[in-house]
Amino acid sequence: MIDREKLINTLYKAIDEVNSILEGDKICKSMDTSLYGDLGVLDSLGLINLLAAIEEQIEKDFGITLLLLDDIDLSEDTNDFCTVSTLFEYIFLRLSSQEG
Amino acid sequence: MKIDESPKILLVSDFTINNMAGYLNNDDDFPTVKASVSPYGQVIQVLLNDNLDCWQNNPDFVVVWTQPENIINSFRPLLDFHKVDIQKILDDIDEFSKLLINVSRRVKHVFVSTWVLPSYYKIFKTLDMKNEIGVSNVLMRMNIRLLDNLADIQNICMLNAQRWIEVAGVSSFNPKLWYTAKIAFGNEVFKEAAKDIKNVIRGFLGMAKKLIILDLDDTLWGGIVGDDGWENIKLGGHDPIGEAYVDFQRALKSLTNRGILLGMVSKNDEKIALEAITKHPEMILKLEDFVGWKINWEDKAKNILELVSELNLGLQSVVFIDDNPYERARVSEALPEVFVPEWPQDKMLYKSALLSLRCFEISAISDEDIMRTKLYVVERQRGELKEKIGSIDEWLKTLAVKVEVEVLNNLNLPRTVQLLNKTNQMNLSTRRMTEAELIDWARQEQRKVWIIRASDKFGDLGLVGIVSIEVNNNIGCITDFILSCRAMGRKIEEIMVLTTANYARTLKLDKIIAKYVPTAKNKPCLEFWKSSGFKYEESEAFFEWDLQDDYPSVNHVEVIYV
C-alpha cells in the first residue's frame, strides 16, 4: 500500500526542484494549487519538467519506476494535471495499480 | 555595464535551454542576471541577424551552446558510423567560428560551451578513440579546432561542458526530456553551467576573491604546534593524513601562480608557529608565500580586519579557511563580507574542497598576477620601512618612487582593461569595459586616457593606474580614476590628478570635475577625493577644481611623461 503522506512529500520535493527553474509564479506546495490549464502556473514545458522530476523522485523514494511522460496528454483540458490534488490522485492510482 | 546593474544574458541554442535560463534568473547570488532565450533551433539565424527580437534588449553576454551533430552537419554521419571527411568537418567549424567572432563584436562577452555527446555513442569502445572513425576522437579534434579558432578573441570564453557532465553524473542526459521537450541535458548539467557562468561574470566584474586567509593548526598541518612542537606536527611522511596536508599546501601554492594571495590568521604563539613554517622539512608553503599574518591570541575576526586593511584589500576579496566551526561561525557573523566556506572534517578532502571553491575566476593571467605574492611581500617590507620613518614625505623620499605616465595604446591595452575591470577600491566610476569598448571610447578627440606605471627602490609595481578625461564645454570631466590598491597612499593619486590638470590647462579649460559614483567598495576613492583639495559638492558627490589655480605639484616622486 502506498503511503499517502510519503507520496505528498515526494511530490513536494519535485515541486521544489521545478520551482528553482520557474520564472515568475512558483508552484505553491498545497493540494489546491492550480498547476496546468487556464488557472495553472505551468506551461507545457513546466509540466514536462514537473513530471520528469516526479518520476525521478518516486524512483528515489519508493524504488518504483513510474512512467508519467510516456503517455502524457498536454491538452489543457486534461484533468489529471489540473491541480496538485488531481495530480496526486492520478499518481497515487497509477502507483497503486502498479503495486497491485 | 555598471557594476550594480543586472547583466543581460542571451542564451542561443539548438535545443530547449529554458531550464538554464530559469536557474540563472532565480539565482540571487551577486550579480543577479536577466537571462533570455533565443528562438528555438535558430542558432545560425540568430548569430547572423542582429535585427531579430532577441537582440533588441542589447544583451551584455551571449551563451552559445550547440549540439555538434546539429550545428556541424558534416559530423552527423559519423554518429551513424559512416565514414566522414575530417577536413570538411574542420572547414564547417571554421565557418561556425566566423559567426561566433562576428557576434563577439556585438556584446561584451560570448560564452561558447564545448561540444559533448551522451556516452552511449561510445558503443564501440576500441574504435571510439581511433583517428577518422572514432566518435570521441573526432569530437576532441572538433573542440580543439574551435578552441584554436577562437583563442585570440579576447571576449570569447570557451566553457568546458564536459565538466558539467562529469558533475551531473548519470543524470547528465535524460532521453525523456529530449523526446518530450527537446531538452538535451538533465537539469543538474544546467545547474552547473549556470553556476559557472555566474562565477565567470563575477570575475569579469572584479568580484573574484583575491586572498585566502588560513588557520594553521589542523588546517595547514595536523596537530597543535604549541603543544606538540614543530617536529611532531602531522605533515608529509608515510602517512595518509600527512600526505593530504602536503597536497593541500601544494594546491594553495599553485593558486599563488594564478595571482591568489595567501595570509595566515592563527591563535598561536607567533614565534612557535613561524618556526614550524621555516623549519619543518616537508612544509611546502614557505614564509615568502604569505603576504601577511596575524598570529596571536586575539579574536580572529579582528585579526582578519587588520590584516586586510594592511594589505589595502576589501573584505569582499577574502576567503577564510579554518577547520574549527566555532572560528568559522565567529568570522562569518562578525565579517559577513568574508567568504567562509564550510570545511570538511576529513583532512583528505581539504585539497578537493579548496579546488572546488567557485570564487577565484579570472579571465586572463598576466605576468603581474604570477608575481603578485612577491609584489605584496615587497609591499610588506615597504610598510616596515614606513613604520621606522615618521612622515609620509620622509618615507617617500626613502622609497624613491618613480611614476611613468603614458597614453593608452595597443601594447598597454590588455593590462589596462584588466585593471579597469578588477579594481574596486580606488575607482571613481567603476566602469567595466572590454578592450574594444575602451579603445572605441578613447578614440574620440575630446577624450584622453593615460596609464600609470610605478616603481621604487624595492622593485617595479607595474601598470597600477588609469586616469581618463572627457572635455565638454570647456570643462574637463575625469571619467576614470583607478589605482591598484598596491600603489595607494604614495602620492600617485595626486600625480594622476596633476596629469589631468596640466592637460586641461594646455587646452585652456576653465575647470576640471570628478563625479564620484559610489559602490559597496570604493569608499577609499571618496576619501582620497575629499582630501584632494578639490571643492566638494557633497549632495552630488561632485568634485571641482578651478584651473585659474595651479594644482599643487608633488614632492619626492619622480614623474616621467612617456
B43-63 per-position pLDDT tens digit = 999 999 989 999 999 999 999
> Integer distance in angstroms from the first to the last C-alpha of chain B?
31
Stated as kind and residue range, the H or E segment containing B60 is none
Q: What is the pLDDT of residue B400?
A: 85
Q: Which residues of A touch B174 (CB under 8 A)?
A: 52
CA distance B180 to chain A (A): 7
Q: Which residue numbers of B have CB closer than 8 Å to A's CBs?
A: 16, 18-19, 21-23, 25-26, 171, 174, 176-177, 180-181, 183, 187, 190
Average pLDDT of span B358-383:
74
Q: Which residues of A touch B181 (CB under 8 A)?
A: 44-45, 48-49
**Strand B8-13 with B61-65, pairing:** parallel
Map residue B491 onto helix, strand or coil: coil
Closest-CA residue to B396 (of B497, B531, B491): B491
Q: Is the pLDDT of residue B389 over 80?
A: no
Closest-CA residue to B10 (of B70, B71, B53, B67): B53
Q: What are the domain boundaries of chain B?
A: 8-204, 211-355, 370-561
Per-residue pLDDT band at B390 (split at 50, 70, 90):
low
d(CA B355, CA B145): 28
Q: Which residues, at least 6 apart from B334, have a Cβ–Cβ distance to it below 8 Å?
A: B299, B301
Q: Is the pLDDT of residue B526 over 90?
A: yes
The string of pLDDT tens digits covering residues B450-476 is: 999 998 887 788 899 999 999 999 999
Q: What is the pLDDT of residue B3?
A: 53
Closest-CA residue to B83 (of B43, B37, B162, B138): B138
Q: What is the pLDDT of residue B369?
A: 72
CA distance A20 to chain B (A): 6
Contact assessment for residue B264 and residue B294, using Cβ atoms and an 8 Å cutoff: yes
Please tell me which of the candidates B19, B176, B180 has its beta carbon nearest to residue A21. B19
Please tell me which of the candidates B23, B176, B181 has its beta carbon nearest to residue A45. B181
Q: Which residues, at least 6 apart from B513, have a Cβ–Cβ distance to it below 8 Å?
A: B475, B476, B477, B478, B542, B543, B544, B545
Q: What is the pLDDT of residue B374?
A: 75
Among B9, B176, B185, B189, pick the best mutation site for testing chain A contact (most A Cβ within 10 A).
B176
* Residue numbers of A between 15 and 74 with CB closer than 8 Å to B: 17, 20-23, 44-45, 48-49, 52-53, 55-56, 69, 72
User: Residue B171: closest CA among chain A residues belongs to which residue?
Assistant: A56
d(CA A37, CA A45): 13
Q: Please, which residues bridge with residue B267 across strands?
A: B296
Average pLDDT of span B255-271:
92
Average pLDDT of span B137-159:
95
Contact assessment for residue B331 and residue B304, using Cβ atoms and an 8 Å cutoff: yes
Per-residue pLDDT band at A76 (split at 50, 70, 90):
low
Q: Is the pLDDT of residue B287 over 80?
A: yes
Find which of B137-151, B190-204, B300-314, B519-533 is predicted with most confidence, using mean pLDDT.
Answer: B137-151
Average pLDDT of span B356-362:
85
The set of cell numbers assigned to A90 is 492520478
Average pLDDT of span B522-528:
90
The string of pLDDT tens digits covering residues B156-170 is: 999 999 999 999 998
Per-residue pLDDT band at B2 (split at 50, 70, 90):
low
d(CA B181, CA B408): 51
Distances (CA, A) of B58 to B1, B19, B109, B111, B206: 11, 22, 12, 16, 22
The set of cell numbers assigned to A85 is 490534488
User: Residue A56: closest CA among chain B residues belongs to which residue?
Assistant: B171
Q: What is the pLDDT of residue A4?
A: 92
Q: What is the pLDDT of residue B16?
A: 96
Q: Which residues of B touch A45 (CB under 8 A)?
A: 16, 18, 181
User: Residue A23: closest CA among chain B residues belongs to which residue?
Assistant: B22
Q: What is the DSSP string of B435-447?
A: HHHHHHHHHSTTE
CB contact under 8 A, B26 and A21: yes
- Fold observed for domain B211-355: Rossmann fold (3.40.50)
The set of cell numbers assigned to B117 is 555527446
Average pLDDT of span A79-92:
91
CB contact under 8 A, A69 and B25: no
Q: What is the pLDDT of residue B363?
A: 67
Average pLDDT of span A31-35:
92
CB contact under 8 A, B171 and A20: no
Average pLDDT of span B52-78:
95
| Residue B31, preceding peptide bond in cis (omega within 30° of 0) | yes
* Domain B370-561 superfamily per CATH: Gcn5-related N-acetyltransferase (GNAT) (3.40.630.30)
Q: Which residues of B touch A49 (CB under 8 A)?
A: 19, 177, 181, 187
The string of pLDDT tens digits covering residues A4-19 is: 999 999 999 999 999 9
- Worst-scoring range by mean pLDDT, A1-5, B50-54, B391-395, B552-556? B391-395
Q: What is the pLDDT of residue B499?
A: 95
Average pLDDT of span B182-186:
94
Please tell me which of the candidates A21, A52, A56 has its beta carbon nearest to residue B23. A21
CB contact under 8 A, A17 and B187: yes
CB contact under 8 A, A23 and B22: yes
Map residue B8 onto helix, strand or coil: strand
CB contact under 8 A, B26 and A20: yes
Q: What is the pLDDT of residue A77?
A: 63
User: Residue B22: closest CA among chain A residues belongs to which residue?
Assistant: A21
Grid cell 563584436 — which residue?
Answer: B105
Per-residue pLDDT band at A100 (split at 50, 70, 90):
low
Q: What is the pLDDT of residue B125?
A: 80
Q: Which residues of A touch B180 (CB under 8 A)?
A: 48, 52, 69, 72
* Domain B8-204 superfamily per CATH: SGNH hydrolase (3.40.50.1110)
d(CA B493, CA B551): 13
Burial tier of A18 (Cβ tally within 10 Å: 0-12, 13-18, 19+): buried
Q: What is the pLDDT of residue B461?
A: 83
Q: Is the pLDDT of residue A95 over 60?
A: yes
Q: Which residues of A touch B26 (CB under 8 A)?
A: 20-23
Q: Which residues of A touch B171 (CB under 8 A)?
A: 56
User: Residue A74: closest CA among chain B residues belongs to which residue?
Assistant: B180
B21 or B422, higher pLDDT: B21
CA distance B195 to chain A (A): 13
Q: Which residues, at least 6 apart from A21, have a Cβ–Cβ distance to it below 8 Å?
A: A49, B18, B19, B22, B23, B26, B187, B190
CB contact under 8 A, B26 and A48: no
> Integer distance in angstroms from the first to the last C-alpha of chain A?
8
The string of pLDDT tens digits covering residues A36-59 is: 888 889 998 999 999 999 999 999
d(CA A73, CA A78): 7
Number of alpha carbons in the 13 Å side-chain half-sphere of residue B169 = 1
User: Residue B26: closest CA among chain A residues belongs to which residue?
Assistant: A20
CB contact under 8 A, B16 and A69: no
Which residue type sits at B426?
A: M
The packing angle between helices B413-422 and B435-443, to 10°, is 110
Q: Distance of alpha carbon B533 from its chain centroid, rounded?
A: 34
How open is the CA angle B125-B130-B134, to the nearest 5 degrees?
Answer: 65
Q: Which residues of B touch A21 (CB under 8 A)?
A: 18-19, 22-23, 26, 187, 190
User: Mean pLDDT in chain B?
Assistant: 91
In chain B, the percentage of residues whose pLDDT exceeds 90 is: 68
User: Residue A21: closest CA among chain B residues belongs to which residue?
Assistant: B22
d(CA B315, CA B304): 9
Supply the Cα-derived Rg of chain B in whole angstroms: 27
B312 or B366, higher pLDDT: B312
d(CA B64, CA B141): 19
CB contact under 8 A, A21 and B18: yes
Q: Long-range contact list for B44-50, CB < 8 A, 24+ apart?
A: B44/B71, B44/B99, B46/B12, B47/B12, B47/B99, B47/B100, B47/B102, B47/B103, B48/B99, B48/B102, B50/B106
Grid cell 567595466 — which residue?
Answer: B432
Q: Which residues of A touch B168 (CB under 8 A)?
A: none
d(CA B467, CA B423): 13
The string of pLDDT tens digits covering residues B415-460 is: 899 889 888 889 999 998 888 899 999 999 999 999 999 988 877 8
Q: What is the pLDDT of residue B365?
A: 66
User: Residue A53: closest CA among chain B residues belongs to which residue?
Assistant: B187
CB contact under 8 A, A56 and B171: yes
The reply to whether domains B8-204 and B370-561 share a CATH topology is no
CB contact under 8 A, B22 and A52: no
Q: What is the pLDDT of residue B446?
A: 94
CB contact under 8 A, B22 and A72: no
The packing angle between helices A84-99 and A44-62, to 10°, is 40
Which residue type sits at B302?
A: K
Task: Please name the CATH architecture into which domain A4-99 falls.
Answer: Orthogonal Bundle (1.10)
B4 or B485, higher pLDDT: B485
CB contact under 8 A, B22 and A17: no
Q: What is the pLDDT of residue B204?
A: 82
Q: Which residues of A touch B9 (CB under 8 A)?
A: none
Q: Is the pLDDT of residue B26 over 90?
A: yes
